[in-house]
Amino acid sequence: MLNKPSYNLYIIPGKIIGKESVSEFVSDYFDKEIDEIMKIIHENRYRSYQEILLIQDITFEKMTIISEQLNYYPSLLFKAEKVRKYFYANHFTGYTGRITEDEYEKLRKEGYSINSNIGKTGLEKYYEDILRGENGQQVLQVDAGGNNLEFFKHNLQTSPQNGDDLILTIDNDLQEYVSSIFPKNKKGSIVVMNIKTGGILAYVSKPDFDPNLFTGGISAKQWDNIITDPNKPMLDRVIHGTYPPGSVYKPIMASLGLEEKVIDSKTKLTKCDGGMWFGNRYFKCWYAKGHGRLAVENAIKYSCDVFFYDLSTRFTLEHLNEYTELNHLSTRTGIDLPGERKGFFPTRKWYIDNYGKYVGILGHKVNLAIGQGEILVTPLQICAYYSALGNDGVWKQPHLLDKRIEAEHTYKNIVEEKHLPMSDDTLKLIQNSLNKTVNESYGTGIAASVNGVKVFGKTGSAENHMGEKTHSWFSGYAKCDKFEIGFNVFIENGGHGGSVSAPIAQKLISYYYGIIE
């Protein structure tokens, strides 16, 4: 994003001659209802000689046409200023918008004016304090007609100060490519990050919207079309959407079993004949013919549900809850964006509060073990977890800001670093399992393999209340001598992770490999 020149239309309430006629005049030229303009005039009726912003980002041609008639409307004037220009539709940059009366009352002491544009969402909101700079000002004394009496000539004028420049981690070429390969008319997200730094390289949520709609002041009709769209284009599915993870959660269950010495690399649990009985309920495996008896690596490779059903019975619900949080799933990542959701993992108390004191925990726990039921995660949490697996267990805080430039100084963004709760031996076994999933025959993620690149990953197909088809997940990381990236591909109600999301991951890895080469 950058600042571009903009012609903006202002009105001076004290100079209005007929508010109805001036409102009608402005409405004739712009997509703004007369009632909207009248409301702005009314709200600013006591700011007699302040210039009140009406319309932003007006073309030179339209400004020229309107200027020829301004002698009939002395309350109107144009000013050449700057507005944001965003390069592509996205959720992470956010957008700036006109300050509201409520916002102005809270922020006026910090130097904001009634005409200020402030960050409303995304990076624009998160970094508002360092992006906005300082307004300049000039103090004048005027007579009843608004004429400058020129009483003050010294030390009553200050020059504006620019805000900081932000350099992002986003790779624009990769961002545009990832956006282009997202399945048409589908909802979901794709995230790609540098596993060594946590820097986000691509951040796509679909459907998206054009933040430039807001730079000139969005009309009531345009806003209504966006917020009533059933596909919710304003929803950032990367950090604001929470979903059951399905089988991409299984490596967490596996590492818990290994760390607690309940299983080792050779332990084979209950034979999978297509499902497993718990009490009077039969929990199916996704593969109806059954996988037989498997050790943990092949249980991940084939994504056998029965192995993880059985493994979950060795632990309390509280143990699963605590270990999930230690892997940074049911907690916010701390990405530099506002409103990130933390996800959810239920406790015994939650089940009792919602289902009654006689609720059976076993069936719910078995379901949670394969990433189903009440567990909810964001796509970013999953991407950060798999990136940490690829970074030898070191979890890097996801972030979009690489560095900021203040005047002549550059400051690198320093982010948090943590470690996954597993030993080196456990980590290597999980990594090997993810390698088998993609690179061995009958692995569920084989569609993501790329010649010349080491690809590790896990498929997920999560049942949900949103539709008949499962949510489609593919999460993992990829390494070669030129790059090391983590990724998460998520398609709402897309179907099977191995057949829908894995091929998309294969495309983005191949493309990035081609760029680097």
For residue 45, the enclosing domain spans 1-82
Residue 92 has pLDDT above 90, yes or no: yes
Cα dist from 295 to 105, 314, 434, 469, whole Å: 63, 16, 14, 30
3-state helix, strand, coil in the chain (%, to 5): 35, 25, 40
Q: How many CB atoms lie within 10 A of CB 186?
A: 15
Residue 390, φ and ψ in degrees, nearest 5: -75, -20
Domain end position, chosen among 65, 82, 99: 82
134 part of a folded domain: no
295 part of a folded domain: yes
Q: What is the pLDDT of residue 155?
A: 56
Average pLDDT over residues 36-57: 91
For residue 355, the SS3 value is helix
Residues 179 and 72 in one domain: no
97 part of a folded domain: no
The residues near 157 (Cβ < 8 Å, ≥ 6 apart) are: 136, 137, 138, 139
Residues 188 and 76 in one domain: no
Average pLDDT over residues 478-482: 94
Q: What is the pLDDT of residue 418?
A: 97
153 part of a folded domain: no
Rounded to the nearest 10 degrees, the angle between the axes of helix 348-355 and helix 317-326 is 120
Our count of domains for the chain comes to 2
pTM over 0.75: yes
Please choose, from the candidates 206, 191, 201, the residue with its C-alpha nearest in 3D space to the C-alpha of residue 170: 201
Residue 107 has pLDDT above 90, yes or no: yes
Res. 215 pLDDT band, cuts 50 70 90: confident
Q: How many CB atoms lie within 10 A of CB 6?
A: 18
Instruction: Give the CA-trace dihedral at 209, 484, 516, 403, to 10 degrees.
Output: 60
Residues 357 and 504 in one domain: yes
CB 450 within 8 A of CB 512: no
Q: Average per-residue pLDDT in the chain?
A: 93
CATH of the domain at 71: 3.90.1310.10
Would you state the structure tokens that stand for residue 206, as one six-digit string?
A: 């679909």
Residues 190 and 72 in one domain: no
Residues 190 and 70 in one domain: no
Res. 220 pLDDT band, cuts 50 70 90: confident
Q: What is the pLDDT of residue 516?
A: 59
Identity of the amino acid at 504: I
Rg (CA), the chain: 28
Residue 13 per-residue DSSP state: G
Residues 178 and 63 in one domain: no
For 317-373, how does the pLDDT look when each residue is reduced to its tens digit (9 = 90+)? 999 999 999 999 999 999 999 999 999 999 999 999 999 999 999 999 999 999 999
In 358-506, where do the E strands start and end?
A: 394-396, 401-406, 409-412, 417-419, 454-462, 471-479, 484-491
Residue 72 has pLDDT above 80, yes or no: yes
Would you state the structure tokens that stand for residue 513, as one six-digit string?
A: 């490999």
CB 74 within 8 A of CB 101: no
The span from the CA of 484 to the CA of 480, in Å, is 7
Residues 70 and 176 in one domain: no
504 part of a folded domain: yes
141 part of a folded domain: no
The span from the CA of 466 to the CA of 203, in Å, is 23
CB 234 within 8 A of CB 227: yes
What per-residue string of b and e applies to 189-211 under the rule 16 or more CB within 10 Å gives b?
A: bbbbbbbebbbbbbbbbbbbbeb
Task: Specify the DSSP element, H or E, that contains 179.
Answer: helix 172-181
Res. 159 pLDDT band, cuts 50 70 90: low
Would you state the structure tokens that stand for residue 491, as one six-digit string?
A: 């398609």
Q: What is the pLDDT of residue 394?
A: 98
User: 122 — alpha (psi -120 to 50), left (phi > 0) or beta?
Assistant: left
| DSSP secondary structure of 257-313 | HHHTTS--TT---S-BSSEEEETTEEEEPSSTT--BS--HHHHHHTT-HHHHHHHHT
Domain end position, chosen among 82, 107, 131: 82
The span from the CA of 318 to the CA of 148, in Å, is 72
144 part of a folded domain: no
Domain end position, chosen among 43, 58, 82: 82
Residue 515, φ and ψ in degrees, nearest 5: -60, -50
CATH of the domain at 326: 3.40.710.10
294 part of a folded domain: yes
